[in-house]
Structure 1
């Protein structure tokens, strides 16, 4: 009887393998892949217009998407427990690269954020920390009892604080805050006690004051002042926000049409192909276009939350939840700053703004989500 049941189990598993689709065999989640392809395809149309019909820039973005897609599929092949084993070395490498940037990084536009190997590659190590950071805290917390004790919380904050300080020195306030948030989300999902959360919220004001006087650069302070009153310097620091809101408002419900926007094509809107690209989308495709984009983002976030709920390991649940919530913050901060609801902190719009390192990092994050989701049955059988 025992051998018969065992043979029948093997037979059932063979049938399931034969029925598996190509995407399932590749450990790729079809829903996420479809949404990402739709988002990337639409982004190329917007980027073509925002860049002033620059084919070279468009080809670079498409190449970065292809590279990121390949990386996503490769990462999805590895089981979550295999990825967890490589988290500590990845954290050490990530922090080491940030130190290299701090010591001998490539300077551009007044910031030192890149490692440049002439003729080979130029990349921004801080982008990779958006994945490495939550993975590190998820790896550490998954080996401890939850909710976290004060000792474990202190070690986690130290792990978060090292890259946070190195990134903010570049200076890159937007990325440093996203890295901080990605690690904090793991602690929140891990059941951080409410008295500590309330204490952290209470400490925001004195920390913000300290950052204002001792950490933030003059241009970052000016961004905050401009956020509070954009009209105080309409031809200077307030120019970006004023022109961005003008572009979004002039699009109306259905927009002016593709390639017919005036704010970006007449160079009224700076950084139209990077941080402020949603203003181009709003002007040319109107409220309808923006709502469609937000719908795709909501579907991606919703799918991420489903994967988080279905994760069968603590490491997978913590990491999937943090990656999903960080992606939401990514979208929220960019749209908030472009529409004047938040200060400008230099955060690109996911998958829409031009940027190779950012695109590859985002797709790698979704590769991790796919790994957590598609290997869950295998984990249950072990």
Structure 2
């Protein structure tokens, strides 16, 4: 199956170093960059949630640290299991994902207008985050069944594989996560060698689905207000709250200047003018307290992560590994761009978390799983 989109993606040559222990084949740069972003994220979550009282609130930090440690463990386990075995489990994992996504519509709890979480004791679990990994693996497995250029029928089947979970997630409704699924599906299709006219078909499907979603009233009122606030770029009676939310986020980032107001000293953050500052708008805390310099460091670390994922895909020993990396690449790039973009005002507010930085167990666990998959491919590049 040809690869036409990302130059350099393709199988690697075998080497005499194939007997080297797997542990020495870890992509250290990717691992260090991931842990560095996670460390910065823990600091920002603490800053966003510590409060202004004499006794800092550490409950959010403690939970996020627990999520991070569990995530590192999951990443390590994922690295040890040969990723090629996942091809055999892809169908089962995909089916389980569909079942769980349907179950959350009935048994899940509603948070911020979306029924997308299971409550497990003191924690909440968002199945759609883990569904990203399952769908990426399923698409990678599907497009490696036949190595010829994908036909129109195969493209439609691939779109259906991604479309079914996306449709269920839209019923929650969770527009941001659906956009992430659309992003990594597009990248996988492109790298798999899909013809340009078939990519045009994907674009038409997305446009039609978006129009139908708006017409049928699937989105919550606040989600529609978020979109209209971005399109209109001026407050109205309906979207004034959303407009003010984004303007306050931009003000916070502007307050940071070049070097920031200082750790824990963000005026906008401490005055609670920026809502959801530990989750959706965590980048405003980075921008205000660490300034342009700190924000640039964070973006640079993300750039390293993205480049290493691309490089691992370029040296993958087979197309299955290449497509897995392509999916993780698309997922990571879009989430970073959209999350930072909605804080700076260049993208609509969709509630997408910033990988490894935003508070939330499901997000950070799924992010570590995705890096574990990429490391898995890298460790077996000579096999």
TM-score by length of 1: 0.89
Change (3 A) 1:13 1:245: closer
Would the aligned equivalents of 2:188 and 2:327 in 1 still touch at CA under 8 Å? yes
In structure 1, the partner of 2:180 is 178
Would the aligned equivalents of 1:27 and 1:77 in 2 still touch at CA under 8 Å? no
Q: Deviations over 1:299-353 (max 9, x none)?
A: 0000000000000111001111121121001100111111111111110111111
Counterparts of 1:96-135 in structure 2, within 5 Å, are 96-118=99-121, 121-135=123-137
Would the aligned equivalents of 1:142 and 1:314 in 2 still touch at CA under 8 Å? yes
Give secondary structure in 2 for the equivalent of 1:238.
helix
Structure scoring higher RCO (CA < 8 A, sep ≥ 6) equals: 2
In structure 2, the partner of 1:153 is 155
Counterparts of 1:310-349 in structure 2, within 5 Å, are 310-349=315-354
Would the aligned equivalents of 1:275 and 1:349 in 2 still touch at CA under 8 Å? yes
Would the aligned equivalents of 2:126 and 2:362 in 1 still touch at CA under 8 Å? yes
Matched, 1:232 2:230: no
Aligned residues, how many?
360
Q: Distance in 1 between matches of 2:295 and 2:304?
A: 14
In structure 1, the partner of 2:7 is none
Matched, 1:260 2:265: yes
In structure 2, the partner of 1:3 is none
In structure 1, the partner of 2:29 is 31
Q: Distance in 1 between matches of 2:171 and 2:240?
A: 28
More divergent stretch after superposition (245-254 vs 78-87): 78-87
Would the aligned equivalents of 2:317 and 2:380 in 1 still touch at CA under 8 Å? no
User: Runs of 5+ in structure 2 lacking a partner?
Assistant: 1-15
Q: Distance in 2 between matches of 1:342 and 1:211?
A: 19
Q: Distance in 1 between matches of 2:129 and 2:209?
A: 24
Give secondary structure in 2 for the equivalent of 1:122.
strand
Would the aligned equivalents of 2:152 and 2:198 in 1 still touch at CA under 8 Å? no
Q: 1:351 aligns with which of 335, 352, 356?
A: 356
Matched, 1:47 2:41: no
Counterparts of 1:37-116 in structure 2, within 5 Å, are 37-51=35-49, 52=51, 53-116=56-119
RMSD: 1.9
Larger gyration radius, structure 1 or structure 2 = 1
Would the aligned equivalents of 1:105 and 1:115 in 2 still touch at CA under 8 Å? yes
Would the aligned equivalents of 1:26 and 1:73 in 2 still touch at CA under 8 Å? no
User: Runs of 5+ in structure 1 lacking a partner?
Assistant: 1-11
Give secondary structure in 2 for the equivalent of 1:376.
coil
Q: Distance in 2 between matches of 1:289 and 1:35?
A: 15
Superposed displacement of residue 26, structure 1: 7.0
Change (3 A) 1:102 1:202: closer
In structure 1, the partner of 2:4 is none
